[in-house]
Structure 1
Amino acid sequence: MNIEVNEILNTYDGGLTWRSDYAVDGKFCVARLRNRLDKAHHPVGDGEFWWLNSVPKKVTSFVGRAKQGRISFAEALERRNILVTSPMCGLCADQIESTDHILTSCSMVKETLCMVLNWCGIPLEYFSGVNEVLAFARNWGHCPKKKETLTCIIYGTIWSLWKARNDRIFRGEILKPAKIMDFIKGTVFTWRKYRAKKGDTMDWDKWCVSPLTCT
């Protein structure tokens, strides 16, 4: 994170006095600091990570952990001597479950990602890992608004795939890619609608047809 400690709190008079740009009427204001954090760049693991205001904090945190390979997939749990029912992928059950497999390489995930790219009007791409798909979204195109929208959709896709994996393992619910796709559309639309700036509007019908033209 590109925020220096002395930007938040400074000492004067040999440490006897403390001053902060985030204080209001002599009291520290968390809202001011939160606003500054939202504007900061967040390096995660091997590169910069985009913290989007349009995405719930818990989702952004999850995607950040996935980027670092720090989510609790079956292979990781086994390495920590935690008993798991099966080390196989919770979606396809064909390969050992890992972060990159469960979120980018699984056959069911690949089909879902293809549907997402087609929905966005983007030529088909195949990804071998979470870092690769995040970098693709962050660097795609030249319009900042469309780039932010695509990244938001990718975050929503990663979150939805993880949810589908958990629903299959813990609830026995098997969702097909088309159903996951419906969930992605509705979830990301809700995020953006209720976190939009004052005056911005979201049209559901246009969103369902072409999300990158809604920005």
Structure 2
Amino acid sequence: MDGSTVLLWNWSAQPSSPTALAELEDASSVLADVRFSEASDRWVWSLAANRRFSAASIKALAAKESALEGLQPFGKCSWVPEKCNIFVWRSLLDRIPTRQALARRNIRIDSVFCVLCGDSVESVDHLFSGCEMSLRVWNRLCEWANIPHIFAFSFGDLVEHYKFCPGNKEYKEVVRGLIIVACWCIWNARNAKFFSSKETSWEKIFGEVRSLGFFWLKNRSKHRNIVWVEWCKSPLYMV
């Protein structure tokens, strides 16, 4: 009558052990604050003001959590394959299996040093912006694309370099894609050496960047009239 909850237990065997009695007391204290009504039971989504679930509320929550963690959103490049965009996104989150990451997960490996150069612990930042072989790839890429040399202290600095390059928005998008392609080729070269003991060189990696960049840009963008001979001289001829 006064709105309080009365619990009537129907036991097949009365609880008698200290543990069971303690659990019963805890359960009773939790249920004491429960108030019942004549309405039907229903599920509610506590993370939305209207208590209704929606995909938009999940998206807003994810964006909020990313901001709290200091993560910057990564917008994909339209002319490179999705696998390359996803790879760069995972690298920004430090979610690729570098030797440092494998050791951190207690996976047994023979060494934590860089597969390509062997000079430092193989982290995402080292592999792409500190490794001697990668630096040579970036230097050649910058000379070929006629953009400022890359001085990156982290992987995030590397993928944002296109913003500081000369040229119009269209050319910057080309440069952005080439940086993503180069990251993909460096990772593939690393894996080929790690898993198959295939030796590589910065010249081979750069050649792969240039050929894949040409193939994907020609077939996945509006730049269908680019010419291989001119492309090999410099992609700058496009603007």
TM range (shorter): 0.7 to 0.9
Instruction: Tell me which residue corresponds to 1:124.
Output: 149
In structure 2, distance between residues paired with 1:111 and 1:58: 24
Q: Does 1:68 align with 2:93?
A: yes
Q: How does 1:1-215 map to 2 (within 5 A)?
A: 46-197=71-222, 200-215=224-239
In structure 2, distance between residues paired with 1:131 and 1:153: 15
Contiguous gaps of at least 5 residues in structure 2: 1-51, 53-65
Structure with higher strand content: 1
Report how far residue 207 of structure 1 moved.
Answer: 0.9
Q: Is the 8 A contact 2:125 2:154 kept in 1?
A: yes
What percentage of residue pairs aligned between the two structures are identical? 30
Root-mean-square deviation (CA), in Å? 1.9
In structure 2, distance between residues paired with 1:200 and 1:87: 43
Q: Secondary structure at the match of 2:141?
A: helix
Moved over 6 A (4+): none
Q: Is the 8 A contact 2:142 2:148 kept in 1?
A: yes
Q: Is the 8 A contact 1:88 1:94 kept in 2?
A: yes
Q: Is the 8 A contact 1:185 1:208 kept in 2?
A: yes
Q: Is the 8 A contact 1:161 1:180 kept in 2?
A: yes
In structure 2, distance between residues paired with 1:50 and 1:147: 14
In structure 2, distance between residues paired with 1:170 and 1:60: 23
Q: Secondary structure at the match of 1:89?
A: coil
Q: Is the 8 A contact 1:109 1:161 kept in 2?
A: yes
Q: Is the 8 A contact 1:149 1:212 kept in 2?
A: no
Q: Which has the larger radius of gyration?
A: 2
In structure 1, distance between residues paired with 2:136 and 2:167: 26
